[in-house]
A and B are shown apart, each in its own frame.
Chain A
Amino acid sequence: MTVITFENVAYSYGGGELLTDVSLKLAPGSFHFLTGPSGAGKSTFLKLAYAELRPTSGRVTLFDNDVTKLSRDDIARTRRRIGIVHQDCKFLDHMSLAANMALPFTVSDRESSPQDMDDLLGWVGLKHLADALPPQLSGGERQRAALARAVIVDPDVILADEPTGNVDWEMSLRILTLLVELNKMGKTILVATHDLNLIRQAKAQIQARVLRIAKHRVQLAGADL
C-alpha cells in the first residue's frame, strides 16, 4: 500500500497551470521535505494531498482511494487518518487548548483518553497551558499545539505546511525533533518548507528525501542540497 500517490497530476487555477505532470508515491513510514520558492505550489500540493483541492487532470490516490471518487463524508473519514499542520494554524478560539487538541476525537463522536491527552500535552511541552485559550498562546506554542492536535487520533500521515515559518530557530529544531520522533514511530511525514537549514538538520538525524518544485514540476532532489 502507498499512502499518497500522484499520477500525472496537474492543477491549474484560472490563469495557468501551477503544477504539471506530477507523479510520485509516498511510501508508508517515509519522510519527505517539499521545497521550492514561495508561490511555486507547495501549499497547493499539500491541499491536493488532503483532498482540499481536486486535480484538474491526472489522479490523486489517498490510501488507495481515488480522490475524485470520494464523497464529502469519505473525505472527512480520510482526514481522520491525516494529521495536518499549517503555518498559521487555526483553532477554535472559544475553547481551551485541551479541548482544541481533543477536537479530532470530538468531531468523530469519540472520547480521548485523559492519559493520552496528558502524555501528548507533556510531549509537546504544553501541559501548563491546557486551560489556556488559543489566542493567549505564542507562535511556537500554537505550532506545537497544532502538531499535537494533528497526531492525537494516531493518523498514518502528517502533512505540515511551513510548520516552522513563524518560529525562531530553537523552536524550529524542537518541532523538527517532534516530527522525527513521529517518523520513528512509523508515521509518513511530508513537510513543506523553504528552510534549507532545517532540511540539512533533519538529514543528519534521519533518512529524509527532498522533493523540489521547479517549473511547475515536482522532482526528487539529489544529494546536492
Chain B
Amino acid sequence: MRLPTAKPASPATRALEVVPPSGPTAWLTTFTAGAMTFLCVFALALSLASGRLATRWSEALAKTATIRLSAPEEQVQIQTDAILTALASTPGIKSYRLIEDAETKQLLEPWFGPDLPVEALPIPRLIEVVEADPPYDAEGLKQRLTAEAPGAVLDDHTRWRRPLAEAAQRIRLLGVLSIALIGAAMAAMITLAARAALATNAEVIRVLRLVGAKDSYIARAFVRRFTLRALTGAAIGAAAGLVGVAALPAADAAGGFLTGLGFTGAGWLWPLALPPLAAIVAFLATRRAAFQKLRELT
C-alpha cells in the first residue's frame, strides 16, 4: 500500500492504477493478439511468396517462346531453314536460337537417362525465341510458319503460364484479404474485451466521473492497458511466426511454390511491422469502445 507521502507515481501510471487489476482474463487479450499475429505472419509470407511467383511467371511468360518442329527426316533441315529465315524477317524478335541436339539431350536426360540415342528418336527440333519490345505478332508468326514450315508449332508459353500467373495473383489477393480479416477480427475481439472491462468497472467509472475525471482520463487507463496487452501478444506471435517461417525448408533453384514460401531480403521487415500495427488497432478499438461506453454514463 502506498502512502501519499511516498514517492508519487507519474500521472500516466496512476491513471492505470485507478482501474482495478483485471484478474485472470487479462491474458486472453494477449493470447488473441498473439494468435492473430502468428496467423498474420503466414498470410503475409503467402502473399509475398505468391507475389514473387506471379511476377516471375509473368516475366517469363512475356519474354520467351519455343518453336517446335516435327517433320519427316528429309524435311527437317529444309523446314528449319525456312523457320530461321522467317524469324530473321519478323519484326519484334530480339533473338532466336536453334537448340542443338546435345542440348536437347541434356534437357531430356533427367527423364530418359544419359545414354539416350537422340539421333535415333523422332525428337522435335526446338528453336528458342526471345521477344523484343514491342513484341512480335504471335498470330501473324503462327500463320506464316504454317505456310512455310507446316511441321512447326509456335508455343508462346501463354497457354500454361498465364493461368498459373493468374492463380498466383489470386492467392496473393487472398493473402492480403486474410491479413485484413485478421486485423478486423482482432479489432472486434479487443472491442468486446474492452467493453466487458468497461462494463465490469462501471462503478469505478461513476466514482471517477463524480470526482471530476474527464472521459479522456478514464479512457486512458483502459486504452493503455489493452494497447500494451496487444503489443505484447503480437510481439510474441510475430516472433513465433518468424521462427516457423524460418524453419521451412529453404527455396532452391528447382524449388516449387511450397519451398518458396517465406520472406526474402527486405520482406523480413514486414512481420516486424505487425506488433506496432496490432498495438495501433488495439489503441483505436479500445478508445472507440471507451468513449462510446462513457457517453452512456453521466
On A, residues with C-beta under 8 Å from B are 50-53, 72-73, 75-80, 84, 90-96, 98-99, 102-104, 106-109, 111-112, 114, 117-118, 130-131, 133, 149, 153
- Is B196's CB within 8 Å of the partner chain A? no
What is the CA–CA distance of A91 and B139 in the complex, to the nearest angstrom? 85
Partner of A91, one of B11, B207, B294, B295: B207
Q: A72-B215, A72-B295 are known; give 11 further A-B pairs, CB within 8 A.
A: A77-B214, A84-B210, A92-B204, A95-B17, A99-B2, A107-B18, A109-B11, A109-B217, A112-B4, A114-B4, A130-B3
Evaluate contact between A98 and B214: CB separation under 8 angstroms: no
The answer to whether A72 and B210 have CB atoms under 8 Å apart is no
Is B211 a contact partner of A103 (Cβ separation < 8 A)? Answer: yes
Contact partners of B208 in chain A: CB under 8 A: 103, 107
Chain B minimum-CB-distance residue to A153:
B212
17 intermolecular pairs with C-beta atoms under 8 Å apart? A51-B298, A52-B298, A72-B295, A73-B216, A75-B298, A78-B212, A79-B210, A90-B206, A95-B18, A96-B1, A99-B4, A103-B18, A103-B207, A107-B211, A107-B214, A131-B3, A153-B212
- The interface residues of chain B lying within 8 Å CB-to-CB of A76 are 209, 212-215
Residues of A within 8 A of B21 (CB): 94
Docked Cα-Cα span, A73 to B217, in Å, equals: 10
User: Closest 7 CB pairs between A and B?
Assistant: A107-B213, A80-B212, A79-B212, A94-B20, A104-B211, A76-B214, A114-B5
Interface residues of B (CB under 8 A from A): 1-5, 8, 11, 14, 17-18, 20-21, 203-204, 206-217, 294-295, 298
Alpha-carbon gap, A104 to B211, bound state (A): 5
Nearest CB of B to A11, in Å = 14
- CB neighbours (8 Å) of A153 from chain B are 212
Minimum Cβ distance to chain B for residue A50 (Å): 8
Query: Nearest residue in A to B211 (C-beta to C-beta)?
Result: A104
Given contacts A99-B2, A102-B4, contact A93 B20 (CB under 8 A): yes
B206 contact set on A, CB distance < 8 A: 90
The distance in angstroms between the C-alpha atoms of A107 and B209, with both chains bound, is 9
Which residue on chain B has the smallest CB distance to residue A115? B5
Contact B207 A92 (CB under 8 A): yes
Contact yes or no, A131 B1, CB < 8 A: yes
B20 touches A92 (CB 8 A): yes
B211 touches which one: A75, A95, A109, A149 (CB < 8 A)? Answer: A149
Q: Who on chain A is nearest to B17 by CB? A: A95
B55 CB to nearest A CB, Å: 53
CB distance from A118 to the nearest CB of B (A): 8
Looking at B11, B20, B21, B210, which has the most chain A CB atoms within 10 Å of its CB? B210
The residues of A that contact B207 with a CB separation of less than 8 Å are: 90-92, 103
Q: How far is the CB of A82 from chain B (nearest CB, A)?
A: 8
CB distance from A30 to the nearest CB of B (A): 22
- A117 to B3 Cα, complex, angstroms: 10
In Å, the complex CA distance between A23 and B14 comes to 42
